[in-house]
A and B are shown apart, each in its own frame.
Chain A
Amino acid sequence: MIKQWKFPGGIALGDHKQTTEIRDTALPAELIYPLLQRSDCYATATVYPGERVLKGQVIATQKKPLTTPVHAASSGVIKEIAPHLIAHPSGLTDSCIVIETDGLDEALPANPCLDYHLETAENLRIKIAQAGIVGLGGAAFPTAEKLQALQPIHTLIINGAECEPYISCDASLIGSHAQQVVQGALIMQYILQAERCIIAIENNMPATLQALHEATSQESIQIVSVPAIYPTGGEKQLIKVLTGKKIPANSLPTDHGVVCQNVGTAFAVYQAIIQGIPLTERIITITGKGINHPGNLRVKIGTPIKYLIEQCGGYSQNIQRLIMGGPMMGIALSSDDIAVIKATNCLLGMTNNELAESQSAMPCIRCGDCSTVCPAELLPQQLYWYGRSGQLEQCQDYQLFDCIECGCCDIVCPSHIPLVQSFRSSKGELIIKEKQAAQAQLAKKRYQNQQQRREKEQQDKIAKAAKRQAAIDKIKAAAAKRKTQGV
């Protein structure tokens, strides 16, 4: 038993979890892959409409090193590359690659590796990047990039603390593939040369804990059960609980010798290295009272949500809202004609009974409950006031960008103020402002360069004219001289 610390704030939530056997899903008729990867980062399609692709084939890449390609999850023909609804809070459409599957599920040959100890860490990282692995906990940060630490790493944490209610995909994964998850963790430990590796599980999941203990009897991995307080599963929060280290603002855990990876990511690393197959599937929890047969499903990335819901017996009558992600941090979807992406860990169909009664926001009474529960130790009420009055610089001074948008403050606010939404909006405004400033700077530079160039051209012109005039004068003078001499 290793020593544990407490992170500030947080709240205990009901778990609503049902860890079930993983069900396989049938092959959908279409697979849809958005080209937008993370925030503002687009992949470029490498296939053309009409082309036949195999399972595991790269269909879109990014240029930067260690960024992740997108792989086809089944064989078929590229139907189109066209705008389609994407899983994004904006509800906007964006370019997507659509594959019409042919039902054969023909795969590219796998490239297994018998003993990863014979490979260099660099090679393994490249393999992980080429397999398209990103953090499967929800943030979708490229795993290979995270495994490339500039500092020596002493601790690798495998995050199995699914702190949001309803979500149980990681627990089910451990339940059926504990060995592989441990193998994946060992591979990452080998890459990082980390002294210790900890797998963290919330203490309300005894079965999962048991499965892991059985799988790691001989291994040098510590299994730790952490208190189920939301948001223990947040990266910085979990690091605080397990190591007592507080990761400061504007720095990454890798700067402090810690790397945190999700359980699903460890499994994907195992598949990529040992079995040699890229990331084309993941486990997704489909749950909520709005779904007839909830469960944990093995899903091909790119599968339309509508199809998955059909596989789960469809919606129940009183479904009110469909959410991608958990009830605390997920995004409400406007339609189910959207495909699941690598970051999708849960689809939640909520009924009116489950949803918090939406009440209109009342004025802030400055009770301070929000700052008591804030796991990032911010002052949400202060941020709210500054954001509301447009004092964005003050927001930045109060570390707005440290907000992890966990939603604890929203829950405890007695005035039902949508605080997180207000913070997201302020963050957006600041980002846009920064972009505009950069644009203005660029325009200024180009304008100044143009001014300089024109001035130089003008001067050259004058100099040239003067030179020509001098030459003419010279000739004229010579002619005049000849004339006078001739006369």
Chain B
Amino acid sequence: MLFLCVFFALLGLGLGYAARYLKVQGEPLVEQIDALLPQTQCGQCKYPGCRPYAQAIVDETAEINQCPPGGEETIAALANLLGVATQPLNAEFGETNAPAVAFIIEQDCIGCVKCIPPCPVDAILGASKQMHTVIASECTGCELCIAPCPVDCIIMRPLAPPPGQWQWTTHHD
């Protein structure tokens, strides 16, 4: 009897030890949330980027419906991950627009470099008193460069897929 008690106590200690020191490190929640966000780094959620917003969701200081570029799809994915109910996008933070990229009207550009620091992904190429241009393949369409431009030469252009990226649709009734 005593032997059994000691044996089970040892097993218990062993399990406790294993639970403590051999714990599998899961991906932290903030990383998982960040992976679901669209990475436009646009700041429309009122946080300075996707990662800080993910942190805010973890800290429960932000709701999951504050990401306009992600839209309903991102909200659904976040709700699924966090095990909470989905909710409609909070219109306070903006609305979901069709994907677009910034475009600099080159003859109007005065080369002031004011648009370059706000770009979160370094997608604007230019130097002082030189014409600037947007690298369209890198642009996330965050619109952060539009407000700083003193001559309003940056416009958003919708991304129309070329035939190579066109896709079939069905009318699911």
Contacts and interface: CB of A to CB of B under 8 A. Distances in A.
A442 B167 contact: no
Give the secondary structure class of A's interface.
Answer: helix
A424 interface: yes
Interface of B: 34, 37-41, 49-50, 120-123, 138, 140, 162-170, 172-173
Given A424-B168, A428-B168, A447-B49, A441 B163 contact: no
Q: Report the 9 A-B pairs with minimum CB-CB distance, sorted nearest first.
A: A428-B167, A424-B168, A440-B39, A40-B164, A90-B166, A446-B121, A443-B39, A425-B168, A444-B39
Contact of A429 (B121, B138, B167): B167
A39 B167 contact: no
Nearest to A430: B167
12 contacts: A36-B164, A41-B164, A89-B166, A90-B166, A92-B162, A443-B39, A443-B120, A444-B34, A446-B120, A446-B122, A449-B122, A450-B121
A86 interface: yes
B167 A425 contact: yes
Given A89-B168, A427-B168, A450-B121, 14 more contacts: A36-B162, A36-B164, A40-B165, A41-B164, A425-B170, A427-B167, A431-B167, A432-B165, A440-B37, A442-B138, A443-B40, A444-B34, A447-B39, A449-B122
Nearest to B165: A40
Contacts of B170: 387, 418, 421-422, 425
Contacts of A439: 39, 140
Interface of A: 36, 39-42, 86, 88-90, 92, 94, 361, 387-388, 418, 421-422, 424-425, 427-429, 431-432, 435-436, 439-444, 446-447, 449-450
A441 B121 contact: no
A425 B172 CA distance: 11
Contacts of B40: 443
Contacts of B140: 439, 443
A443 B163 CA distance: 24
Q: Which interface residue of A42, A424, A442, A446 has the most chain B CB atoms within 10 A?
A: A446
Given A86-B163, A88-B166, A446-B121, A388 B41 contact: no
B111 to A, nearest CB: 21
A156 B50 CA distance: 53
Contacts of A442: 138
B53 to A, nearest CB: 13
A94 B172 CA distance: 29
Given A443-B39, A443-B41, A444-B39, A42 B164 contact: yes
B121 to A, nearest CB: 4
B165 A447 contact: no
A388 to B, nearest CB: 5
A60 B163 CA distance: 18
A92 B167 CA distance: 12
Nearest to B117: A454
Contacts of A449: 122
Contacts of A36: 162-164
Contacts of B123: 446
A429 B121 CA distance: 26
B41 A447 contact: yes
Given A36-B164, A425-B167, A431-B167, A440 B122 contact: no
Nearest to A436: B38
B99 to A, nearest CB: 9
Nearest to A93: B163
B138 A446 contact: yes
Contacts of B167: 424-425, 427-429, 431-432
